[in-house]
Amino acid sequence: MAVVLVGGEGTRLRPLTYTTPKPLLPICNRPFLERQLLWLASSGVDEVVLSMGYLPDAFKQRFPDDRFGEIQIRYAVEDEPLGTGGAIRFAAEGATGTFLVCNGDVLTDLDIRELLKVHEAAAAEATIALTQVEDPSAFGVVPTAEDGRVLAFVVKPPPGLAPTDWINAGTYVLEPSMLERIPTGVTASVERETFPRTLESGGALYAVQSDAFWLDIGVPRQFLDAQEFVLDGVLGFPPAPGAREQGEGIWVQGDVDVDPTARLAPPVLLGDGSVIGADVAVKRSVLGPGCRVREAASVVGSVLLDGAQVGARSAITDSIVGSGAEVQAGASIGEVTVVGAGAVVEAGTAMLGARVLPPGVDEAAT
């Protein structure tokens, strides 16, 4: 059994997450969560509890039969956000055997079986996957002994003062006894409270250093990077369900309509029903199903979600255009601008690093 934590509001990916919870946002035209379920299934997981709070109905609609392939899905819906620790306790209450927990916003192919092997061999109460990053100062840093025993938890160490550059990768193997270490009725963070307290009280905590691919998709820049990594085959090929390679690094799903004068520079993924007009340039980008890019526009290093529309002579650079959103003629957006679902960037506007809210969302009220 695996608990996948999908209850966060994903504030750093706003305005996209006002309408779609982070785990259901697509990475190369497949909801991120489905990629994560495939990863879990490949390690033999056949039961997943989605630990949710924010926009729970969106998940239930996505899996109407409570199944994804071989995986049986259960839902644990919190009335109030319980934090990562509280959420684990709530979702896994009553578990009788070893179980997995993973954050619902990390794209990885780390080796779950290896994690389970170490956990078992060490008779650990919890075993944490670690990944190595260049700058650990924004993360939970986990120094370990030679045999993998966790020595400390250091949260967001000042730059240059981290004891190691191995950080908590957000994937854990837990014994049911860990649940009793999490208080009920209050919010609790597993990484900041439960694990450090378990260590203080002498619990057997182990960690496994993994050099597998690992990327937190929870900020717009990394959400864009994730698309390109997947396009480049980090999770294997094809990069999206049913995609066919029509030229080197040019992937197409279903039927698309590309004007012969359009230039496509790899890697590119075009979703079913996308329409690309004359003299358009598309480079290092993903277009969701039903997107339309009109003549002489350019889309570079960007992601258009399903049904997004780009007007003539517009320039979209390193940006994300939400579902059904519209960038009108002659507008230019860049430097990780994020356009919410259904939002409109007016003709001729120029925006850098902007957030464009979906209609009806009042940021001051959230």
Binding site for ligand GTP (CB under 6 A): 5-12, 22, 51-53, 78, 81-84, 87, 103-105, 218
Which letter, b or e, does each residue of 305-343 get, where b requires 16 or more Cβ atoms within 10 Å of its Cβ?
bbbbbbbbbbbbbbbbbbbbbbbbbbbbbbebbbbbbbb
Least Å distance, CB 242 to ligand GTP, is 27
User: Which residues, including other chains, have CB under 8 Å from residue 352's CB and lie 6 or more apart?
Assistant: 333, 334, 335, 337
| Residue 226 beta carbon to ligand GTP: minimum distance, rounded to whole angstroms | 14
| Minimum CB distance to ligand GTP smaller for 8 or for 267 | 8
Q: Counting beta carbons within 10 angstroms of the beta carbon of residue 132, is it exposed (0 to 12), middle (13 to 18) or buried (19 or more)? A: middle
Q: Which residue is nearest to ligand GTP (CB)?
A: 8
Instruction: State the minimum distance, in angstroms, from the CB of residue 277 to ligand GTP.
Output: 35
- Least distance to ligand GTP, CB of residue 24, Å: 11
CB of 310 to ligand GTP, least distance (A): 27
Nearest CB to ligand GTP, comparing residues 139 and 251: 139
End-to-end alpha-carbon separation of the chain, Å?
A: 34
Asked whether the CA dihedral 347, 349, 351, 357 is positive or negative, the reply is negative
Chain length of the chain: 366
Q: For residues 14 and 181, which CB has a smaller minimum distance to ligand GTP in the complex?
A: 14
Nearer to ligand GTP, 8 or 277 (CB): 8
Minimum distance from CB of 218 to ligand GTP (Å)? 5
CB of 319 to ligand GTP, least distance (A): 18
Q: Which residue's structure tokens are 């520079």?
A: 265
Q: Which is nearer to ligand GTP, 84 or 253 (CB)?
A: 84
- In the bound state with ligand GTP, the residue whose beta carbon lies nearer, of 22 and 181, is 22
* 3-class secondary-structure state, position 71: strand
Query: Please, which residue, 15 or 271, has the CB nearer to ligand GTP?
Result: 15
**310 phi/psi in degrees, rounded to 5:** -120, 125
- Tell me which long-range contacts 180-186 makes (C-beta under 8 A, separation of at least 24): 182/85, 182/86, 182/88, 182/89, 183/86, 184/86, 184/89, 186/86
Smaller CB separation from ligand GTP, 5 or 179? 5
CB of 194 to ligand GTP, least distance (A): 13
CA–CA distances in Å: residue 76 to residues 5, 54, 341: 10, 11, 27
Least distance (Å) from ligand GTP to the CB of residue 212? 18
The DSSP secondary-structure symbol of 136 reads: G
Distances from the Cα of 82 to the Cα of 99, 188, 189, angstroms:
19, 6, 8
The amino acid that residue 232 corresponds to is D
Q: In this complex, which beta carbon is closest to ligand GTP, that of residue 310 or of residue 339?
A: 339
State phi, psi for 151 to the nearest 5 degrees.
-95, -30
